[in-house]
Amino acid sequence: PIMTDSLSEIRDLLEKAHRVLLVSHVMPDGDTLGSALGLAWALRQRGLEVRLSCADTVPKPLRFMPGSQDYALRSRTDEEVIFVIDSSDLERIGHVYDAAAFAAVPVVNIDHHVTNLCFGNINWVEPKAATAELILELVRYLGIPLDARIATCLLTGLVTDTQCFRTHSTTADSLRAAGTLMDAGASLAAIVRAVFNHRSLPMLRLWGQALSNIQCSGGVLWTEISQDMLHRVGADEEASRGLANFLGTLDDAPVSVVLRELKGGLVDVSLRSSADVDVSKVALAFGGGGHAQAAGCLVKGTLAEVRERLLAALRQVLSAREPAGEPLATPKGPSGSL
């Protein structure tokens, strides 16, 4: 169950701690990184030793955030409290998860995803527009003054997860939080320029191929990105970032999907939908999670295998057109699912 007294419990934990580990999820986005970095700067003001860990490197467009160079790919194991930031389950943090280390100290789970499994000793899970909103609330509760570093990191989380305040989850509280962070020294224009306004020629070529290969059937619009496509255009893994959100703006189908082939026999699936279709339960059935209109999962299998299983699950949801409910049974496939 979600604890209503999470803030006071977190405060009590921090009053006894000296060393804290903050963990961001794999394939990190602006919210998991910005939330953790903002909290790191705040806790350092309190005199705590703070380490940051993520299984993947910080994407280039997000390296402008102060402290982003402090991320380590692996963590040490002498921390007294572990915070898992913006992650709906422990699998989502990848190899940073160490069962023995996580069992030995309190784990604080702070997240805004409705699919969160409440895996922590303290679970502060609220369906806000971004986890950064929760971190701002925590920083203010702890009485830590906002500075430009904290504000820049948290506003980056808010801006990226709301797609510049365009998602259904954006509320008046979200806009008030953004105003507070701008008052504290964050530049909205600088964040938007860094995150959204940088394009490369390989990225445009990759998007061109992906857009020309769009398929649309049964209310689902999808495209695929293979490793071969990346190699042909000279693009890296980050080049497809933002494509799922772009497809989500199209009017031709209520659901859009980007399937991206990764190394090691995995496919990264990004799902977007209109207001009356909940794709989070599909992502949850495949071992992922997210929000009703924006979700994702990592699935074992080839592009063709994952596509067929995913489309079948999505058509089931579209035919029912029911609000969010119990997660679907995981569709059976030759290689299982993550």
DSSP 3-state of 317 = helix
The dihedral through the CA atoms of 15, 123, 152, 297 has a sign that is positive
Domains present along the chain, CATH in parentheses:
6-196 (3.90.1640.10), 201-320 (3.10.310.30)
For the chain, the straight-line distance linking the first and the last C-alpha, in angstroms and rounded, comes to: 24
Cβ-count burial 270-279 (b if 16+ within 10 Å, e if not) = bbbbeeebbb
Burial of 182 (0-12, 13-18, 19+ CB in 10 A): middle
20's enclosing H/E stretch is strand 19-24
Closest of 82, 100, 97 to residue 14, by C-alpha: 82
The per-residue pLDDT string of the chain (338 residues; one tens digit each, 9 = 90 and over) reads 344 479 999 999 999 999 999 999 999 999 999 999 999 999 999 999 999 999 999 999 999 999 999 998 876 678 999 999 999 999 999 999 999 989 999 999 999 999 999 999 999 999 999 999 999 999 999 999 999 999 999 999 999 999 999 988 999 999 999 999 999 999 999 999 999 988 899 999 999 999 999 999 999 999 999 999 999 999 998 899 899 999 999 999 999 999 999 999 999 999 999 878 999 999 999 999 999 999 999 999 999 999 999 999 999 999 887 544 444 444 433 333 22
Residue 207 dihedral angles phi and psi, to the nearest 5°: -60, -40
Burial of 264 (0-12, 13-18, 19+ CB in 10 A): exposed
* Distance, CA of 193 to CA of 50 (rounded, Å): 29
